[in-house]
Amino acid sequence: MKNLNTIVAAGVVAAVAASANAALIVGWTMPTAFPTGTGNVPTGTSYIPPMASGAPAGQADDGANKSGSEIKSVHALAAATYTSPAGNGSSYSFSSNNWSSGDYYQVSFSAAGFTGLSVSWDQTRSSTGPATFTLLASTDGVNFTTLLASYTVLQSGGGGAPGTWSTSTYNSIYTNNQSMGSAFDNASTVTIRFQSTVSTASAGSNRIDNVMVNGTAVPAPGALALLGVAGLIGSRRRR
């Protein structure tokens, strides 16, 4: 029969390990249509309907830190129009046209309590929509780090497209994944930009959906204290 000290120590270590598992920090699955309109669309409480009950339009609909998060798009041209067509296996996506080089989609959130961040997202375009983007991230919204210098956005529907987005079928070829590095660990504010590097015809559109940021939860101070107790118990057991 195992010594009681050994059993207690093992239980404490298991509890601490469970508190440091990978988790969803924020996620946008676009369950509700965005307001349609033109110009830059910052998503705030004045926009109805909300992404989730009682939440501002644009707030993440899932994740531990969804409160206070936001998704928006910024375009140089006032003629840019925003719509909510079918997502990649979800009800809606966030779409816009009239793209200039430097225009972007952007998500902002808190990464407090998490390390080892990674982001995944679905993105597609029309035949004349922007096909080349860069992925940037920042902890102050001013100074950005390049996570991906260039990535290609595949076309959905129409001649030559490898697939078509629909509300009922998810297609993995439109999903991108990128680790973010330690610079964003436990940051009170993180901003991620999906920025176009090309200009397009006025009707050329681009869509984004299923933006998910994952990380490893940092054990609470109490859990770390328990880990120290487990080490002490183990040490005494070995004497």
pLDDT tens, position by position, 96-153: 999 999 999 999 999 999 999 999 999 999 999 999 999 999 999 999 999 999 999 9
For residues 40 and 132, state if they share a domain: yes
For residues 15 and 130, state if they share a domain: no
For residues 102 and 28, state if they share a domain: yes
- Per the CB < 8 A criterion, the answer to whether 30 and 43 are in contact is no
The confidence band for 42, taking pLDDT boundaries of 50, 70 and 90, is: very low
3 state DSSP class of 221 = helix
For residues 146 and 88, state if they share a domain: yes
For residues 199 and 229, state if they share a domain: no
For residues 61 and 73, state if they share a domain: yes
For residues 194 and 97, state if they share a domain: yes
Residue 165 sits in a domain of what CATH number?
Answer: 2.60.120
Instruction: Report the half-sphere exposure of 237 (CA within 13 A, side-chain side).
Output: 15
Number of continuous H segments (helices) and E segments (strands) in the chain: 2, 12
For residues 3 and 102, state if they share a domain: no
Burial 5-36 (b: 16+ CB within 10 A, else e): eeeebeebeeebeeebeeebbbbbbbebbbee
**Residue 222 predicted with pLDDT over 70:** no
**Residue 177 predicted with pLDDT over 90:** yes
**Residue 171 predicted with pLDDT over 50:** yes
Q: Lowest-confidence range among 46-55, 93-102, 104-113, 181-190?
A: 46-55
Query: Structural domain tally of the chain?
Result: 2
For residues 208 and 236, state if they share a domain: no
State the pLDDT at residue 39: 63
State the pLDDT at residue 161: 95
For residues 11 and 31, state if they share a domain: no
For residues 207 and 223, state if they share a domain: no
State the pLDDT at residue 79: 87
State the pLDDT at residue 193: 97
Q: What is the mean pLDDT of residues 66-72?
A: 90
How is residue 10 annotated by DSSP? H
Residue 5 parent element (H or E): helix 4-18
For residues 140 and 52, state if they share a domain: yes
Distance, CA of 107 to CA of 128 (rounded, Å): 24
The confidence band for 41, taking pLDDT boundaries of 50, 70 and 90, is: low
The confidence band for 46, taking pLDDT boundaries of 50, 70 and 90, is: very low
Domain encompassing residue 10: 1-20+219-239
The confidence band for 219, taking pLDDT boundaries of 50, 70 and 90, is: confident
**Residue 13 predicted with pLDDT over 50:** no
